[in-house]
Amino acid sequence: MAGPAFRAAAVRVRVPATSANLGPGFDALGLALGLYDDVVVRVAESGLHIDLAGEGADTLPRDEDHLLVRSLRTAFDLLGGQPRGLEVVCANRIPHGRGLGSSSAAICAGIMAARAVTTGGEARLDDAALLELATEIEGHPDNVAACLLGGFTLAWMEGGAARAIRMTPAESIVPVVFVPAKPLLTETARGLLPRTVPHVDAAANAGRAALLVEALTRRPELLLPATEDRLHQEYRAPAMEESVALVNRLRSDGVPAVISGAGPTVLALAEGDAADKIARLAGEHWTANRLTLDGPGACVLPLTRGDADDPGDAGGASP
């Protein structure tokens, strides 16, 4: 059986940062944020060349160990075969190890780029298959669902396969992220979680997670009670004491605030003009950024002149 054919032209993929959990929606809810990584991929005659700029440029590998490249390779296998060579250019704006979905962004960028450079790629790997593949690589679907679909997502596993639905957040909601200087490994944060929790806490979280769907989409005035969590944030406090303290301080001031993903970034969900005031509440150890909500999720963008050398020209907020 002959392998796939590849497009001669480069393709450009943009992927958003994401915030998972959102308080009570542990491993299920996700929100796509207006902070982006851009990737340009071109099939070459031979070899592998990676050019990195921005976040992780000094620390990420420039070989087959790069998560984006591993995701490309995995997708190419499903699409029927590997290209002769690859040229990859990355403009990274999503902070690494901060709970903003940088690994999910790399995975989604890789598999979408592989599909885009493969002739007939969408027929061989449809959107549902993309979600399943991204979940298989990442290990859980909450961040990759929000990255691929954009907006506000609810993801779950059914019969061993990843599933997700997308909802549209209320337009008045403005995310503000407080990013600390030091990263935190997701494995470290997850390792602090207990094997069991009190039934009363599980019941409370179920109710709050259900309320959060209504609050994020139609009734933002309910976001403070809707973002209350009893399942993971306090258990992870020993690994991010300052983050949990900031969450508690913001919430005591009436601001809906949560740990973003596994932390240590803090996400506040402001309404309209309150975002600028909230951003000023951070101390000197935080970089506060008012972002937008991302709508389309991961997408293939038109390749403009110079993008193959510098995909960062397209802009995007940067913390």
Q: β-strands 47-54, 257-259: how paired?
A: unpaired
CA distance 222 to 196: 28
- Identify the residue whose tokens are 């490309």: 72
What architecture does CATH give domain 11-167+295-312? 2-Layer Sandwich (3.30)
**Per-residue model confidence (pLDDT) at position 288:** 93
Q: Has 95 been labeled as part of a binding site?
A: yes
**Per-residue model confidence (pLDDT) at position 315:** 42
Q: Has 102 been labeled as part of a binding site?
A: yes
Amino acid at 73: R
Fold of the domain spanning 173-290? Alpha-Beta Plaits (3.30.70)
Q: Has 120 been labeled as part of a binding site?
A: no
Q: Has 97 been labeled as part of a binding site?
A: yes
CA distance 213 to 35: 23
**Per-residue model confidence (pLDDT) at position 249:** 94
**Per-residue model confidence (pLDDT) at position 169:** 98
pTM of the model: 0.93
CA 26 from centre of chain = 15
Q: Has 141 been labeled as part of a binding site?
A: no
H-helix or E-strand containing 113? helix 102-117
193: DSSP letter: S
**Residues paired with 178 in a beta bridge:** 266, 288
**Per-residue model confidence (pLDDT) at position 310:** 56
CA distance 188 to 185: 5
**Per-residue model confidence (pLDDT) at position 37:** 98
Q: Has 29 been labeled as part of a binding site?
A: no
| Backbone phi and psi for residue 233, each to the nearest 5 degrees, phi listed first | -65, -50
Q: Has 99 been labeled as part of a binding site?
A: yes
Q: β-strands 47-54, 85-92: how paired?
A: parallel
| Backbone phi and psi for residue 229, each to the nearest 5 degrees, phi listed first | -130, 140
Q: Has 12 been labeled as part of a binding site?
A: no
- 109: alpha, beta or left, given left = phi > 0 and alpha = psi -120 to 50? alpha
**Per-block mean pLDDT, blocks of 10 residues, the chain (319 long):** 85 98 97 98 96 94 96 97 97 96 98 97 96 97 98 97 97 96 81 93 97 98 98 93 95 96 95 86 85 97 66 46
Cβ–Cβ < 8 Å for 319, 289: yes
Query: How is the chain split into domains, by residue range?
Result: 11-167+295-312, 173-290
168: DSSP letter: P
- 194: alpha, beta or left, given left = phi > 0 and alpha = psi -120 to 50? beta
CA distance 301 to 297: 12
First to last CA, the chain: 48
